[in-house]
């Protein structure tokens, strides 16, 4: 643990404030199973994989998890039918902690005969790539040229990173945020910003990037 803090701006570059214990903690330093006090849409950059989860018996108890991938290759299409409602439309690989396959809702389906798309799981490559790119930015030498408030601003990243590094950051975030649009689910565009999957990235973008 690092120096004392009350918010992220008081921490050195490459660290964030764990406000509940008022200590600066290095990004990506908390091992799987470590308790954390904040888990916004399954994202916590202090965790080893940048992801977190809650106990089934206590939704307010969060811990760093090892994220699971989609059971099937993505992009995976789906439809809301009786089997989907009974067994789950979109399943993850077997999760050893929860001892089950985790379900996701099928979205971008506007009527029963239409094909929808399964959202990404935390462990899927595009999601992990986006999280890793944000971690890399926070731990980079370039971010040290930004003051404590601007380091969470993409404008600062654009100014300080070379074009290749900045495009990797932007492209990875955009792919996850607009995942259904990238898959040419045109009818889903108007609903894209209200889906649960997009909330995973949008919420942490608001805190750490915007």
Q: Which domains does the chain have, with CATH numbers?
A: 1-66 (2.10.80)
Closest CA to 102 of 125, 71, 81: 71
For residue range 58-81, list pLDDT tens digits in order: 888 999 999 999 988 777 777 766
Position 69 scores a pLDDT of 92
The CB-based long-range contact list for 200-203 (8 Å cut-off, 24+ gap) reads: 200/41, 200/42, 200/43, 200/122, 200/127, 200/176, 201/41, 201/43, 201/130, 201/173, 201/176, 201/177, 202/41, 202/177, 203/40, 203/41, 203/43
Position 186 scores a pLDDT of 54
Q: Give the pLDDT of the chain (210 residues) as one tens digit per residue.
A: 678 999 888 888 889 999 888 999 999 999 999 999 889 888 999 999 999 999 878 888 999 999 999 988 777 777 766 566 666 678 899 998 888 888 887 776 555 556 778 888 999 999 999 999 999 988 888 888 887 666 677 788 888 899 999 999 988 988 887 776 666 555 555 554 445 444 545 554 554 444
pTM comes to 0.76
Closest CA to 21 of 13, 59, 30: 30
């Amino acid at each position: 643990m690092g120096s004392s803090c009350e918010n992220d701006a008081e921490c050195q570059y490459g660290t964030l404030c764990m406000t509940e214990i008022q200590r600066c903690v290095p990004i990506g330093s908390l091992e799987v199973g470590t308790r954390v006090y904040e888990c916004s849409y399954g994202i916590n950059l202090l965790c080893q994989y940048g992801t977190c989860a809650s106990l089934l018996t206590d939704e307010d108890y969060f811990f760093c998890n090892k994220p699971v991938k989609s059971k099937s290759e993505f992009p995976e299409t789906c439809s809301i039918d009786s089997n989907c409602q009974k067994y789950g439309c979109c399943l993850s690989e077997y999760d050893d902690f929860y001892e089950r396959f985790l379900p996701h809702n099928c979205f971008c389906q506007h009527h029963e005969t239409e094909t929808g798309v399964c959202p990404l799981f935390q462990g899927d490559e595009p999601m992990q790539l986006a999280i890793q790119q944000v971690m890399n930015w926070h731990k980079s030498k370039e971010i040290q040229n930004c003051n404590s408030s601007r380091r969470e601003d993409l404008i600062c990243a654009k100014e300080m990173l070379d074009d290749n590094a900045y495009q990797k950051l932007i492209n990875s975030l955009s792919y996850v945020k607009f995942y259904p649009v990238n898959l040419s689910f045109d009818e889903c565009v108007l609903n894209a910003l209200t889906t649960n999957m997009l909330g995973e990235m949008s919420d942490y973008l608001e805190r750490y990037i915007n």
